[in-house]
Amino acid sequence: MPEALPPRRLSVAPMLDWTDTHYRYMARQITRHTWLYSEMINAGAIIYGDADRFLAFNDGEQPLALQLGGSDPHDLAKASAIASGYGYNEINLNCGCPSPRVQKGAFGACLMNEVSLVADCVNAMQDAAQDIPVTVKHRIGVDRQTEYESVRDFVGTLSEKTACRTFIVHARNAWLDGLSPKENREIPPLKYEYIYQLKRDFPTLEIIINGGITTNEQIAEHLQYVDGVMIGREAYHNPMVMRDWDRLFYGDSGRPIEYEELVERLFQYSRLKIKAGNGVILPHIVRHALGLMHGLNKARIWRRMLSDANLLKNNDGSLILEAWQEVKNANSRTTEIL
Ligand SMILES: Cc1cc2nc3c(=O)[nH]c(=O)nc-3n(C[C@H](O)[C@H](O)[C@H](O)COP(=O)(O)O)c2cc1C
Gap between the Cα atoms of 222 and 242, Å rounded: 16
Write down the pLDDT at residue 98.
81
Ligand 1 atom index nearest CA of 233 = 27
CA of 13 to the centre of ligand 1 (A): 6
Q: Report residues whose beta carbon is within 6 angstroms of any ligand 1 atom.
A: 13-16, 18, 39-40, 67, 94, 96-97, 137, 170, 185, 210-213, 231-234
Write down the pLDDT at residue 1.
43
- Which of these CATH numbers, 1.20.120, 1.10.10, 3.30.70, 1.10.3470, describes 259-337? 1.20.120
Which residues does residue 230 pair with via DSSP β-bridges, in sequence order?
11, 210
Which amino acid appears at position 96 of this protein?
G
Write down the pLDDT at residue 103.
60
Tell me which residue of 139, 34, 118, 152 sits closest to 24, measured CA to CA: 34
Please determine whether the domains at 10-250 and 259-337 fall in the same fold group of CATH.
Answer: no
- The domain segmentation of the chain, as residue ranges, is 10-250, 259-337
Task: Read off the pLDDT of residues 314-338 as tens digits, 9 standing for 90 and up.
Answer: 999 999 999 999 999 998 766 555 5
Distance of CA 76 to the CA centre of its chain: 20
Gap between the Cα atoms of 99 and 179, Å rounded: 9
For atom 6 of ligand 1, the residue with the nearest CA is 15
pLDDT tens string, the chain, 338 residues long: the values are 456 899 999 999 999 999 999 999 999 999 999 999 999 999 999 999 999 999 999 999 999 999 999 999 999 999 999 999 999 999 999 998 887 666 666 778 889 999 999 999 999 999 999 999 999 999 999 988 889 999 999 999 999 999 999 999 999 999 888 788 888 889 999 999 999 999 999 999 999 999 999 999 999 999 999 999 999 999 999 999 999 999 999 999 999 999 999 999 999 999 999 999 889 999 999 999 999 999 999 999 999 999 999 999 999 999 999 999 999 999 876 655 55
Instruction: Compute the residue count for the chain.
Output: 338
CA of 141 to the centre of ligand 1 (A): 16
Tell me which residue of 124, 126, 121 sits closest to 108, measured CA to CA: 121
Gap between the Cα atoms of 22 and 26, Å rounded: 7
Which amino acid appears at position 209 of this protein?
I
Cite the annotated binding site for FMN by residue number.
Answer: 14-16, 67, 137, 170, 210-212, 232-233
Q: List the catalytic residues.
A: 97
Tell me which residue of 319, 315, 318 sits closest to 302, measured CA to CA: 319
> Domain 10-250 carries which CATH code?
3.20.20.70
Ligand 1 atom index nearest CA of 172 = 22
Cite the annotated binding site by residue number.
Answer: 14-16, 67, 137, 170, 210-212, 232-233
What is the value of pTM for the model shown? 0.96
**SS3 call for 163:** coil
Neighbours of 335 (CB within 10 A): 8
Task: Read off the pLDDT of residues 268-285 as tens digits, 9 standing for 90 and up.
Answer: 999 999 999 889 999 999
Helices and strands in the chain: count of H runs, count of E runs: 16, 8
